[in-house]
Amino acid sequence: MAPSSFITITTIFIFILVSPILASTPPVSPDVGLILTRIKPTLGGNDTTNNLLLKTWTLSLPLCQWQGLKWIYTNKTPLQCSPISSSSSQWSNLSLSFDTSLHLFSIQLPSANLSGTLAPEINQFSYLQYLYISFNSISGSIPLTIGYSSSLSDVDLSHNLFSGSVPSSIWNLCERLVSINVHGNLLSGSIPEPGLPNATCDDLQNFDFGQNQFSGRFPGFISGFKAIRELDLSGNNLFGEIPEEIGGLNFEKLNLSYNNFSGVLPDFDFLKSKSKSKFGVESFEGNLNLCGPPLKRCDRSSTGLSSGAVAGIVISLMTGVVVFASLLIGYSQRKKKSNVDEEDEGFDEEENDEETGGGEGKLILFEGGEHLTLEDVLNATGQVMEKTNYGTIYKAKLADGGTIALRLLREGSCKDGGLWLPAVKQLGRIRHESLVPLRAFYQGKRGEKLLIYDYLPNKSLHELLHEPRPGKPVLNWARRHKIALAIAKGLAHLHSNTETPITHGNVRSRNVLVDDFFVARLTDFGLYKLMIPAVADEIIAAAKADGYKAPELQKMKHCNSRTDVYAFGILLLEILLGKKPGKTGIRDGFVDLPAMVKVAVLEETTMEVFDVDVLKGIRSPMEDGVVQALKLAMGCCAPVASVRPSMDEVVKQLEENRPRNRSALYSPAEPRSGLDTPF
Ligand SMILES: *[C@@H]1O[C@H](CO)[C@@H](O)[C@H](O)[C@H]1NC(C)=O
Ligand SMILES: *[C@@H]1O[C@H](CO)[C@@H](O)[C@H](O)[C@H]1NC(C)=O
Ligand SMILES: *[C@@H]1O[C@H](CO)[C@@H](O)[C@H](O)[C@H]1NC(C)=O
Ligand SMILES: *[C@@H]1O[C@H](CO)[C@@H](O)[C@H](O)[C@H]1NC(C)=O
Ligand SMILES: *[C@@H]1O[C@H](CO)[C@@H](O)[C@H](O)[C@H]1NC(C)=O
Ligand SMILES: *[C@@H]1O[C@H](CO)[C@@H](O)[C@H](O)[C@H]1NC(C)=O
């Protein structure tokens, strides 16, 4: 009873108070109401009542005399307010504030002594296109709601005291944004990225985030903004490389000074005359580790830079930091897709294109990679996963949301001309459940080569075996057996089931990817076939250091299925013993797994040589195939090549000597349904 009667009385009370006002004057137009109730009180800060400009925003003055505001009718014709124009009746028309077909079109209050904040209701002006409030002392944060404005296209908040981060909602404005300027505030955090990775913000011409406290990396997404003419990121704390693609944009003004950018400056003049840099030192100064014209020369020898493209990424990897950076390969701003080759033809002399500046490189697609386009690959955003002596592997995000693994072969590591082409085509045809498929191959105009694989979010076997991590699954014998058998099948396929048998050439635990269900896949097979002999022989040097090199193998060109079998033998011992073969990194230490096994057998301590997890839950190492696997491994790494078994034989033996307790494959917590296991 009581509450409802209270409400009724209150309502009547309000009605009595308000109705005389309502009766005498019509309601103000919605935008006028917002200005008076939300914007004016907050923008002015303490001084609202004294601010000369804000004082004019009052119903006792005609709308046309409100300073700094412009209005537009619903039909998009502007309200003509000039006091001297012939239609000057509006200048003194007090009724305009009540005309509901009038909407706020722009706020232009530069240098207006404003010291307040920007109210979140700023997004409720559905016709507001221009917001210029530079050179004031407006503080607080940029309201998140600004991104929900329906018409805002020009935003100038420069030279104020805005703090906090820039809400990523501003990218909701992407499609109509022409200019965004937050220069000279106290803004921090990273520069927000557009929600869509392939955003192009087609009308955006000016992006000025200079003289703030922004941190993080260069906002690489800008390279997608083809209309951009002015970019100012100066005076922030941005670091890392400047993506080379940025050089392809047609800037009229550019300032990247006074940050912590490093690496090689992109060529900002590549479409123009090469003789004189369009932008001078003052566009780039104050970045200690940045080099290249017009700044100091890059010291190539000490940094080990490869041609422009990947240099920075590789360096960052060396620092051990996980790096996000655009893959800067080729000149991706050109949208031609015409160069995509389907498997064949005209692929031999790309390197000669350098002078013309016209070539973009070529993409050969293989089965399962048909959806890839040159543009996809060039615009992919990469993260370094691993670096080997002959190249770098990236996890790369495609604009459509897909992920691929890219292996970039080191500059100069590949054979010239088309000599590698037959090999690439052969690798591209190989399909087996235990082999990571090659989906496409790209050669850039500077000769850089990219192998494009499926990205598998898997651990390497090396990581699983040797890098302790809390929560890591226990590698019991059933799991290890499953992995070993998959590797053996993959190798057997390479050795015998392809049209032209192929040697893997680099069998090692780092080249085995294992997923959550212990499905193992070999990667990196046959890459030596693309390389010049000197680089291919570096694979041997690495194999030697890591203990996988067959004794008879001296030159990569002599590698064959028997040398693969040797490496597999070492790998199988590694799986069984849980020990990392090869150099230990401590003085001249070297773990010789076959020798360890021989000693253990002689000393009759064979059972002690196994990894403790291998024997867990095993009733009889004999009946579960553990001992047979050890013998098999020792046979594979026989010093004399001719006595080693073939991979087909290895597969057969592993299949005949399986762990009996297959349920041991799964811990109780792991799902068992829907698994594609060979058991
Ligand atoms: C505005 O008000 C705040 C507290 O409300 C006060 O600290 C500040 O000094 C005032 N500024 C001016 C210019 O009066
Ligand atoms: C701004 O404020 C200063 C003093 O705080 C005053 O002298 C000046 O007239 C004001 N200017 C405007 C445009 O309000
Ligand atoms: C004043 O503005 C109102 C609302 O737009 C309009 O209806 C009226 O005709 C105007 N008066 C004159 C004298 O222009
Ligand atoms: C510049 O960036 C590097 C990392 O790239 C960092 O180690 C260094 O501390 C930064 N320097 C400054 C002054 O921020
Ligand atoms: C870039 O900004 C810095 C201040 O951060 C300034 O000294 C320099 O003159 C500007 N360069 C250009 C080209 O405007
Ligand atoms: C951007 O990617 C989305 C899907 O992620 C797609 O629907 C859209 O067409 C793409 N736009 C452009 C311009 O490529």
602-624 residue pLDDT tens = 888 888 889 988 888 787 777 78
The pLDDT of residue 653: 93
Cα–Cα distance between 141 and 590 in angstroms, integer? Answer: 60
Q: Does residue 606 fall inside a structural domain?
A: yes
Measured in angstroms, how far is the CA atom of residue 239 from the centroid of ligand 4? Answer: 7
Nearest CA to ligand 6 atom 2: 400
The pLDDT of residue 663: 58
Bond prior to 551 in cis (omega within 30° of 0): no
The pLDDT of residue 347: 36
User: Does the CA dihedral 651-654-656-662 come out positive or negative?
Assistant: negative
Q: Does residue 491 fall inside a structural domain?
A: yes
Cα–Cα distance between 587 and 581 in angstroms, integer? Answer: 15
Nearest CA to ligand 6 atom 10: 198
Q: What is the pLDDT of residues 236-277, one digit of tens each?
A: 999 999 998 898 888 889 999 999 999 888 877 644 444 445
- The response to whether residue 234 sits with its C-beta less than 6 Å from ligand 5 reads yes
Measured in angstroms, how far is the CA atom of residue 115 from the centroid of ligand 2? Answer: 11
Q: Does residue 146 fall inside a structural domain?
A: no
Which ligand 2 atom sits closest to the C-alpha of 50?
A: 14
DSSP one-letter string for 172-232: GGTTT--EEE--SSEEEEEPPPPSSTT---TT--EEE--SSEEEEE--GGGGG-TT--EEE
Taking 3-state DSSP, the helix, strand and coil percentages for the chain, each rounded to the nearest 5, stand at 35, 20, 50
Whether the predicted pLDDT of 112 surpasses 60: yes
User: 203 or 1, which is more confident?
Assistant: 203
Q: Which residues in 434-470 are b (16+ Cβ under 10 Å) and which e? A: bbbbbbbbbbbbbbbbbbbbbbbebbbbbbbbeeeee
Measured in angstroms, how far is the CA atom of residue 44 from the centroid of ligand 2? Answer: 12
- The response to whether residue 88 sits with its C-beta less than 6 Å from ligand 3 reads no
Pocket test for ligand 5, best of 229, 283, 284, 295 (most atoms within 8 A of CB): 283
The pLDDT of residue 237: 95
Q: Does residue 340 fall inside a structural domain?
A: no
Nearest CA to ligand 4 atom 1: 260
DSSP structural state of residue 508: -
Q: What is the pLDDT of residues 158-214, one digit of tens each?
A: 999 999 999 999 999 999 999 999 999 999 999 999 988 788 999 999 999 999 999
Cα–Cα separations (whole angstroms), residue 662 to 164, 422, 480, 572, 672: 56, 43, 12, 19, 12
Cα–Cα distance between 655 and 679 in angstroms, integer? Answer: 10
Q: Does residue 387 fall inside a structural domain?
A: yes
User: 328 or 176, which is more confident?
Assistant: 176
Which ligand 2 atom sits closest to the C-alpha of 51?
A: 14
Query: Residue 428 sits in a domain of what CATH number?
Result: 1.10.510.10
- The response to whether residue 188 sits with its C-beta less than 6 Å from ligand 3 reads no
Q: Does residue 511 fall inside a structural domain?
A: yes
Mean pLDDT of 212-237: 94
Which ligand 3 atom sits closest to the C-alpha of 101?
A: 5
Which ligand 2 atom sits closest to the C-alpha of 113?
A: 1
Residue 566's φ and ψ, nearest 5 degrees, are -60, -50
- The response to whether residue 399 sits with its C-beta less than 6 Å from ligand 6 reads yes
- Among 37-46, 97-106, 367-376, 554-563, name the one with the lowest average pLDDT: 367-376
Whether the predicted pLDDT of 217 surpasses 50: yes
Q: What is the pLDDT of residues 409-421, one digit of tens each?
A: 877 777 776 777 8
Pocket test for ligand 3, best of 95, 100, 103 (most atoms within 8 A of CB): 95
Whether the predicted pLDDT of 374 surpasses 60: yes
- The response to whether residue 202 sits with its C-beta less than 6 Å from ligand 6 reads no
Whether the predicted pLDDT of 526 surpasses 80: yes
Tokens of 392: 């770098």
Q: Residues with Cβ within 6 A of ligand 2?
A: 51-52, 112-113
Domains contained in the chain, number: 1
- The response to whether residue 95 sits with its C-beta less than 6 Å from ligand 3 reads yes
Q: What percentage of the chain has pLDDT greater than the value 90?
A: 45
Q: What is the pLDDT of residues 406-450, one digit of tens each?
A: 888 877 777 776 777 888 888 998 999 999 999 998 887 767 788
- The response to whether residue 3 sits with its C-beta less than 6 Å from ligand 6 reads no
The pLDDT of residue 11: 39
Which ligand 5 atom sits closest to the C-alpha of 255?
A: 1
Pocket test for ligand 4, best of 214, 239, 241, 324 (most atoms within 8 A of CB): 239
Strand partners, 83: none
- The response to whether residue 212 sits with its C-beta less than 6 Å from ligand 5 reads no
Measured in angstroms, how far is the CA atom of residue 259 from the centroid of ligand 4? Answer: 9
The pLDDT of residue 228: 94
User: 127 or 616, which is more confident?
Assistant: 127
Tokens of 14: 């309000």
Instruction: Supply the range of the domain harboring residue 388.
Output: 362-666
Measured in angstroms, how far is the CA atom of residue 468 from the centroid of ligand 6? Answer: 41
H or E stretch at 261: strand 260-264
Mean pLDDT of 336-359: 34
* Highest mean pLDDT out of 87-96, 177-186, 575-584: 177-186
Strands (DSSP E) found in 484-575? 512-514, 520-522
Grade residue 84 by pLDDT with cuts at 50, 70 and 90.
low
The pLDDT of residue 498: 66
Tokens of 465: 């075996």
Q: Mean pLDDT, the chain, as a whole number? A: 80
- The response to whether residue 606 sits with its C-beta less than 6 Å from ligand 4 reads no
Nearest CA to ligand 2 atom 6: 113
H or E stretch at 535: helix 533-545
Measured in angstroms, how far is the CA atom of residue 191 from the centroid of ligand 5? Answer: 20
Pocket test for ligand 3, best of 31, 99, 101 (most atoms within 8 A of CB): 99
Cα–Cα distance between 36 and 33 in angstroms, integer? Answer: 5
Q: Does residue 488 fall inside a structural domain?
A: yes
Cα–Cα separations (whole angstroms), residue 456 to 394, 481, 514: 12, 21, 9
Q: Does residue 376 fall inside a structural domain?
A: yes
- The response to whether residue 277 sits with its C-beta less than 6 Å from ligand 5 reads no
Whether the predicted pLDDT of 665 surpasses 80: no
Which ligand 3 atom sits closest to the C-alpha of 89?
A: 14
